[in-house]
Structure 1
Amino acid sequence: MSTQPSRAESSAAPSPRPPHDALRADAQAWFEGLRDRICGAFEAVEDAYPDPDRPAGRFERTAWTRPADEKAADALEGGGGVISLMRGRVLEKVGVNVSTVQGEFSPAFRASIPGAEQDPRFWASGISLVAHPRSPLVPAAHFNTRMLITTRGWFGGGGDITPMFPDSAEARHDAAQFHAAFRDACDRHDPAYYPRYKEWCDRYFFLPHRNEPRGLGGIFYDHHDTGDVAADFAFTRDVGEAFLSIYPHIVASRMAQPWTPAEREHQLVRRGRYVEFNLIHDRGTLFGLKTGGNVDAILMSLPPEVRWP
């Protein structure tokens, strides 16, 4: 007879819980509320675009449920989320997804997640956004923030900007505004955050097989746990507010500029870099696929049209 504990026994074993547990409902509500405000800002940009021949885009929402493992002892395993997707006249494809999922990490995945080796149960909630504008003169952007709980708890996220012509003066100007918004958010909490998380972003959003950055950066952070969960949550909220304050403004400032077929062709090729990064290197993609996430929501980040030379 085996002396190993059953999955149910090991799952039910008591484990210390971090203070983040008390923030589950507040964090989920914050991510969902930020989603609603970002979607509203993007629809306002669509309304402001002067094109009477093409209707303004609107988000369509699709709810999904994460299948629960029937063998799981934890009755709360499962969860789900909502995909908010818009194909507009300004934003060719933009997705703003929220999800709240829970369950157990697979044995092969536990060693890479802090606090999961001793107890594989997890809870995670977050918002994830990728915007691919129609105009090659409007930069693409990515943003996400999340809270994850195992026997430990932490926040993560950030945002980065990807102009199609990164060496242009216009792209540098937009990136400077984008970085300034995140710097202000960071400085309200710790002046060391911005340089640290900017460097992390530059290192993370890099395509080693092409030896080039994906774009002009932003900030990126993970496993953010200073010991003050309220302060860490406030910092993550300010990161979300920073993105909401600056990216729709950048889109609106560039969307009416005329562009050429050659610039569009260049944009489609540059979008290929986005695809390569997300399918080869992105940890968020890997996390979603390995935890039973919704495949359509995970791959929402891919552009609607792309080309390789």
Structure 2
Amino acid sequence: MTEQFDQHKTRASAWFRSLRDDIVAAFEGLEDAQRTGPCADRPAGRFELRETQRKAEDGSDAGGGLMSVMRGGRVFEKVGVNVSTVHGVLGKRAQAAMAARKDFPGMSDDPRFWASGISLVAHMQNPNTPAVHLNTRMFWTPHGWWFGGGTDLNPCLPFEQDTADFHAVLRDHCDRHDHSYYPRFKAWADEYFFVPHRGRARGVGGIFFDDHNTGDWEADFAFVSDVGRAFLPAFVPLVERRRDLPWGEDERAAQLAHRGLYAEYNLIYDRGIKFGLETGHDIDAIMMSMPPLASWP
């Protein structure tokens, strides 16, 4: 069983890295193709790469990943695409957080963990073009494993057609595995990406799932892989549709205000940020999702 899960870990980690490579290439392609608009005279944006490391409490190597960030491009004002594979022993606070979310019997006796995933947040130049988030991951302990993640669209100026098209792609990829997945995970996203202190959603939704373990690792991995594959066909057509629309000071003000809402959500509620802080991962990689500029009333 241990050898089998070592193979599963290797496959999952390789998939997240492959998805990262595909997305980075597609986003740099969008930059190359942008020849009009107020940012078109800039050099096409390119991702800056930095390896990240996680150190255990005793200073030993505990994994790491690759942080890829593009700033000040023609299409993207800031976009990060991070992958990581980390391992170690969960601290007491992290153990308590895990216990609150999922029952792993024996976790206090053997708190080892392994986690791998991809995390993406894109903040756009044109306020008409929606921001977007993607995260998928695999988590393992000696007591159980699960997949989690999702994707959601965060426009400051929503277009009904964009919302419908984004969700249609997600539904199609979910339906390839189980027709109950899309309605269930859409409802979960609506609940998870809600900002209680503002009394509103942070965007127009998507899908979200966590603790996903049907008992069939191959089936669950296939589903999580398809969630990743859905991202580019769900998002890129919206960028191509909206990136040349005119905008001015009012649209920019709306964008910055919406980014303030996004920042509030991430700092107060986001599970990924909380887990990264609890387990001592690279702080810059954890905070990659924060917008380059934001405003508040």
Identity of aligned residues (%): 55
Deviation at 1:253, TM superposition (A): 1.4
The answer to whether the 8 A contact 1:269-1:306 is kept is yes
1:59-98 paired onto structure 2 within 5 Å: 59-70=47-58, 78-87=62-71, 88-98=73-83
Aligned to 2:212: 224
Q: Which of 150, 163, 169 pairs up with 2:155? A: 163
Please tell me the residue identity of whatever aligns with 1:281.
Y
Q: Cα RMSD over matched residues?
A: 1.5
Q: Is 1:175 aligned to 2:163, yes or no?
A: yes
Residues 1:144 and 2:129 are matched in the alignment? no
Aligned equivalents of 2:243, 2:120: Cα separation in 1 = 19
1:190 corresponds, among 157, 160, 178, to 178
**In 2: Cα distance, 1:124 partner to 1:207 partner:** 27
Determine if contact 2:52/2:285 at 8 Å carries over to the other structure. no
* 1:155–1:227 CA distance, 2 compared to 1 (3 A): same
Residues 20 and 154 of structure 1 are in contact (CA less than 8 Å); yes or no, is this contact kept in structure 2? no
Tell me which of 119, 128, 133 is aligned to 2:110.
119
Larger radius of gyration: 1
Q: CA deviation at 1:18?
A: 10
Instruction: Provide the C-alpha distance between the structure 1 equivalents of 2:41 and 2:77, rounded to a whole number of angstroms.
Output: 15
Equivalent position to 1:128, from 101, 110, 119: 119
Q: 1:20 to 1:182 in 2, by over 3 A?
A: farther
Structure 1 residue 108 displacement after superposition = 2.2
C-alpha distance in structure 2 between counterparts of 1:117 and 1:184, whole Å: 40
2:247 — aligned with what? 259
Count how many residue pairs are aligned between Structure 1 and Structure 2.
286
TM-score by length of 2: 0.93
Partner residue in 2 for 1:100: 85
Write the deviation string for residues 191-225 of structure 1: whole angstroms up to 9, x where unpaired.
Answer: 00001100000000011001000000000001110
Return the TM-score normalized by structure 1: 0.89
- Per-residue deviation, 1:257: 1.0
**Residue identity opposite 2:256 in structure 1:** L
Match of 1:200 in 2: 188
Q: Secondary structure at the match of 1:253?
A: helix
**Is the CA contact 2:170–2:234 (under 8 Å) kept in the aligned structure 1?**
no
Aligned to 2:145: 153
The residue aligned with 1:6 is none
Give yes or no for the alignment of 1:297 onto 2:289: no
Counterpart code for 1:145: T
| Gapped regions of structure 2 (runs ≥ 5) | none
